[in-house]
Chain A
Amino acid sequence: MATFELYRRSAIGMCLTESLDEMVSSGTLSPELAIQVLMQFDKSMTDALETQVKSKVTIKGHLHTYRFCDNVWTFILQDATFKSDECHEQVKRVKIVACDSNLLTQ
């Protein structure tokens, strides 16, 4: 089953990647196992986001750049506003990377 490696770029994903890198570099862990861990992380993260999170966000902003390549949309927004029940954030520049959700359920 294919996984989206998208979430490895998040904070939690980067922490895991760094930890695995350290352990592989020191020889504590084999690279194959590290890859297995990352794949499991992809699945677990996707599941958790589906099941454990229930918030809705609206995004508004000026679209500076858009790109659609390999079924991945990349947007760069400027002066964007993110609103939800929990948060209200404004940022000068944000990058949005989105994979096709339909690919996941093939």
Chain B
Amino acid sequence: MATNVSSVYIHVVDDVISKVRDEFINYGAGESVLNELQALWEMKMMQCGAISGNIERPPLQKNGVPTPVHDLNVPYEGPAEEYETPTAEMLFPPTPLQTPIQTPLPGTADTGMYNIPTGPSDYAPSPISELRNSIDLKSGRPSPYMQPPSPWMNQRPLGVDVNVAYVEGREEADRGSSHQPLTQDFFVNPSGKRKRDDYASQLNSGGYIPQQDGSGDMTIEFSLPQNVVGQDQKSPQGSGSSKFPLNKEAKQHPVLPQYDGVHDEYDDVFNKLFMNSKLNLPIFLFLSHSRHYFFLKIFQFQGGVTNEDYNTPGDHVELRAATPSVGTPKPGKNEVAEDDEPPLNEDDDDDEDLDDLDQGEDEPNTQHLVLALFDKVTRTKSRWKCTLKDGIMHLNNRDILFNKATGEFEF
């Protein structure tokens, strides 16, 4: 067993990287990108077990194997140690301000001033070390989605920025990754949601929280005409029932096709809303639906004229229908019930192995696979024979390489 699988893989990695180096340089991407690729690739391979952790490369023969890559082959204490190296002294370098400047003035105010710069360095070590200890525990196993603890991250300047981050009390300061946009991306909420919340909060005084999780509650709120939209004074009534001076007309249902069938009171209330066009009310209607859609409509009736003012929040709200006729007494399809039915059965055929339906006990990720080239495939009655070569086998979570293989199968 001259070469085992890991060493072959490492050889392949090195070979690929060295041969694309010129391409990278010609393209202008640079060595750093190439190193990043190599580091990422090897890290993933270690994570999935394709290569073992301790690999001895023949480093000097192959030019261009950067030494930082060796760190990935070291057990996980390596990166943790790298985190430890920026000590508090490095983070908070002894500033020249620590040395008091001699002034002719007697010192009350000046000494006060001098105390301030030295302040951070006084209390810095302990909190920083606390943070660092916690980070060490965590960074022992860098999560896959985090940026890999590769050397280029630790080369970031650790000076002034850390102070700022420390004031915020965040751990990112110590990782030195606070400026990496990738990590920031993880924490950014889609703006659509914020808009929705903000918008709703503006409209809805009194802290009404629009319900987006779809328990199917329906709340209808009404504000009296003297309260303009967006005023904070009025506290909206939560549930829409008989809080508005409407003529309670009998159930003269204009066609409100309600497909979800849950909210019985919805019909009544809604009918009452729109049957009376003499309402001089701006009406806020909030619906939350079981399918995580909700929409906001504002109907403004002035005098006898129905001003259809559709301030639907726009793009990030998924309206079931355009519903231009909602403002009229004849309600259109302002229901979101349609997205509930009919089920399109789109998912019925997902993930069916078309080859073999009874995949049964084997999960897809442990599917055994052989990738090879064939020289010959023959069949005699129901007896098949084949000769394969240059193959990679993934069996029982293990990778095996072969140069030649012969197969005999019974059909």
Contact = CB atoms under 8 A, between A and B. Distances in A.
Contact of B386 (A10, A22, A36, A98): A98
B409 A19 contact: no
Interface in A14-60: 14-16, 18-20, 22-23, 26, 28-30, 32-33, 36-37, 40-41, 44-50, 52-60
Q: What interface size band does chain B fall in?
A: 35 or more
Given A52-B11, A82-B393, A20 B45 contact: no
Given A82-B393, A89-B395, A94-B395, A11 B355 contact: no
B390 to A, nearest CB: 4
A9 B393 CA distance: 11
A68 B405 CA distance: 19
Contacts of A104: 373
Given A12-B12, A19-B37, A98-B374, A53 B406 contact: no
Interface of A: 4, 6-7, 9-12, 14-16, 18-20, 22-23, 26, 28-30, 32-33, 36-37, 40-41, 44-50, 52-68, 73-77, 82, 84-87, 89, 91-101, 104
Interface stretch (B18-26, B119-127, B329-337, B339-347): B18-26
Given A53-B8, A99-B374, A36 B20 contact: yes
B36 interface: yes
Interface in B388-411: 388-396, 398-411
Contacts of A46: 390
Given A49-B390, A52-B8, A55-B402, A19 B20 contact: no
B411 A11 contact: no
B362 A93 contact: yes
Contacts of A86: 1, 400
Interface stretch (B55-63, B65-73, B171-179, B363-371): B363-371
A11 B394 contact: yes
Contact of A97 (B3, B20, B29, B371): B371
Contacts of B250: none
Contacts of B377: 68, 73, 98
A37 B20 contact: yes
A15 B41 contact: yes
A94 B410 contact: no
Sorted nearest first, the 3 A-B pairs with minimum C-beta distance are: A63-B409, A101-B373, A98-B374
B361 interface: yes
26 contacts: A7-B371, A12-B45, A15-B41, A15-B45, A30-B29, A37-B23, A40-B19, A48-B15, A49-B403, A53-B402, A53-B403, A57-B391, A57-B400, A60-B409, A63-B411, A73-B374, A86-B400, A87-B398, A89-B393, A89-B396, A94-B367, A96-B369, A96-B407, A98-B372, A98-B377, A100-B374
